[in-house]
Copies of this chain bind each other. A is one copy, B any other.
Amino acid sequence: MGENIGMAARALLNAALEDLRLVAPRDGWPNEKALLAASGADKVIEGAKVFGNVQEAVADCHAVYATTLRPRDMNKPVFTPRQAMTRIRGQAAKGERAAILFGPERTGLWSDDVAAADAIITIPLNPSFSSMNLAQAVAILSYEWFQTGDGAQLTPPPQRSPRAKQDELRAFMAYLEKTLDEVGYFHPPEKRQVMWHNMQSLFARAELTEQELRTLFGVIKQLALEKDE
């Protein structure tokens, strides 16, 4: 189905993968629906190569992995997506090219194509409902590929304001304590220490930024003024 091919192409490019090979696509090629469903991953669709059978499609690859939903009765290593991608990264580091085979949505891969593969990749799923959409399976394997690479570290978002330093936090806490004293918050007096420790923990845990500290200063100041009037 063109839609599945397009969505698979989109999933590939999200993981910086571009080499898409199609074996005897049902609706011919090129396919307008595939381009539409790719949502901008045009270069994967336009660069896709079409082959008559699996054997030709993987001819220049060193390793071949077949994806199946359920383990088949074959004497072949079975890997989870994570295990497989770690392995393929290792193979790629030696200059070896790996192919990952996906079968059509409804039928899955032919047994002959699974038998000719080096190994099987199976996504561990709910044993009472394993029914994965083709493009979702491609998305999960692509995702795992990207996670095993160097690019998968999240860069922390730019903070609008740097984190407050301990002396700034202490200045705020001192102001807060003084103000709470003035308004008679610490009651009864024997609970004072526990109450204050709890409040210190709360603000310490929050990892406040300088900006947030200024905001809190303003809030307390304003509340104290209200109280005075």
Contact = CB atoms under 8 A, between A and B. Distances in A.
Interface in A51-83: 71-76, 78-80, 82
A157 B74 contact: yes
Interface residues of A, number: 52
Interface string A2-35: 0000010011011110000000000000000000
A160 interface: yes
A147 B129 contact: no
A159 B75 contact: yes
A152 interface: yes
Contacts of A92: none
B129 A40 contact: yes
Nearest to A68: B157
Count this chain's copies in the assembly: 2
Which of A128, A136, A147 has the largest count of B CB atoms less than 10 A from its CB?
A136
Interface in A110-142: 122-133, 135-136, 139-140
A13 B129 contact: yes
Which of A14, A15, A123, A132 has the largest count of B CB atoms less than 10 A from its CB?
A14
B158 A73 contact: yes
A41 B146 CA distance: 29
B212 A75 contact: yes
A166 B102 CA distance: 37
Contacts of A39: 131, 133
- 9 closest cross-chain pairs (CB), A and B: A71-B157, A136-B139, A16-B126, A124-B152, A13-B129, A14-B125, A140-B143, A14-B126, A75-B159
8 contacts: A11-B136, A14-B129, A15-B125, A16-B128, A39-B133, A123-B143, A124-B151, A139-B140
